[in-house]
Amino acid sequence: MNDLFEYWQLLLIPLFFGLGWAAARVDMRQVVLESRALPRSYFQGLNFLLNEQPDKAIDSFLEVAKVDSQTVELHFALGNLFRRRGETERAIRLHQNLIDRPDLEEEVRLHALSELGQNFLKAGLLDRAEEIFNKLSGTTFEMEAKRNLLEIYQVEKEWLKAIEIARELPDGVTQQQVAEFYCELAANEIMRSKPDSARGYIESAIQQNRKCVRASLLQGDLLLQEGKPEAAIEAWQRIEQQDPAYLALVAQRLLDTYRKLERRDEGIALLRGYLERYPSLDLLDVVYQLILEGEGTESAYRLVRDELQRNPTLLGLEKLMSARLPLAPPDVRGDVELAKTIIQGYTKRLSRYRCDNCGFKARQFYWRCPACGGWETYPPRRSEEFDQTL
């Protein structure tokens, strides 16, 4: 019985082989037929890509898109490529032509409309982009459209609209970001001397993010504007519990307020304590000015020297040379001045803030990176300090 079973198995082998060969012939015939149906421009485009000639390849694929009305995916691919390359006008024309086709399926038309909105956004045509994204409400592209609307409202500084959209986007929008939107509103109201509305926005920011440093900073500014310097100092001091790295941003405010209250010694003690616990070049600058005014050049020099020994940096060395210059004997003062000038040449690129997200550098501190749009992505310390913590 076993021998008979094995015999029939052997007979089945050529049968299966023959069936596989026949199927392969059918598949190959189909492939050949489909390849013959493709325009010559398609193969020219592939050839240009293989020969690293992308511009010529794009022209060839555009020709394919013109002669074949079914190349929808090719339209999308080319449109996205144009947008990434910054050729927004070509991307707009391509997607607009796709939308204008009378035989286009509704879902494909909505996809093309979404792509067209992104083209307008990339081109800076925000009104036209907003109009298109609003049209996508209630469709399968609604959430993506709202994310783009959120970006538009941030660029246009329409913070109330941004907050409204953020509430409709449970994913991707953090409480930290929404708190920053409220802070933007509060800052505008403070500038316009509208304390009541500013106070309301600050409270909303704190409700969104209790560790929002900017809210405490603005609260102090508002209290100072209302003639309450002691309360302003208390608001700024809360930053130590929220994130002490940001104390450098309020150090100058604290200095000026203590001066107005004629409580310089108390201010010096507070800021020196901050500097000892949370070393910072910006904080050192403020404390240096306090010591220089209150205790004289020699004490200010010793402060910088001690801080440089604890945290050696080129920026600190430049500050040391500045502090040493008035104390230097006349015969070596020129050498100290020369050393200071040389060091300044090296420290110009180090005295900048750098975005954690994209690496963009700036001479001033930003709550929102002007390059990548990230919120609170700038550590409140200079590039040299940043590099030392990596």
Q: How many CB atoms lie within 10 A of CB 1?
A: 4
CA R_g for the chain: 33
β-sheet bridge partners, residue 353: 362
What single-letter amino acid sits at 235? A
Q: Residue 369 annotated as binding?
A: yes
| Cα torsion 154, 156, 161, 165: sign | negative
Question: CA–CA separation, 292 vs 297, rounded Å?
Answer: 5
Q: Which amino acid is at 367?
A: W
Q: Is 358 annotated as a binding residue?
A: yes
Contact 161, 153 (CB under 8 A): yes
The residue with tokens 């000015």 is 289
Give residue for tokens 């959209």. Answer: 165
Residue 208 near residue 173 (C-beta atoms within 8 A): no
Long-range CB pairs of 228-234, under 8 A, 24+ apart, other chains included: 229/257, 229/260, 229/261, 230/261, 232/257, 233/257, 233/258
Residues whose CB falls within 8 Å of the CB of residue 322, separated by 6 or more in sequence, listed in order: 340
Q: Give strand ranges (E) for the chain.
A: 353-354, 361-362
Enter the tokens of residue 251. Answer: 């150090």
In the chain the first and final C-alpha atoms are separated, in Å, by: 76
Decide: 283 and 247 in contact? Cβ < 8 Å: yes
The Cα angle at residue 274 between residues 272 and 279, in degrees rounded to 5: 100
Evaluate whether 263 touches 282 at the Cβ level (below 8 Å): no
212 among the known binding-site residues? Answer: no
Give the annotated binding-site residues: 355, 358, 369, 372
Give the annotated binding-site residues for Fe cation: 355, 358, 369, 372
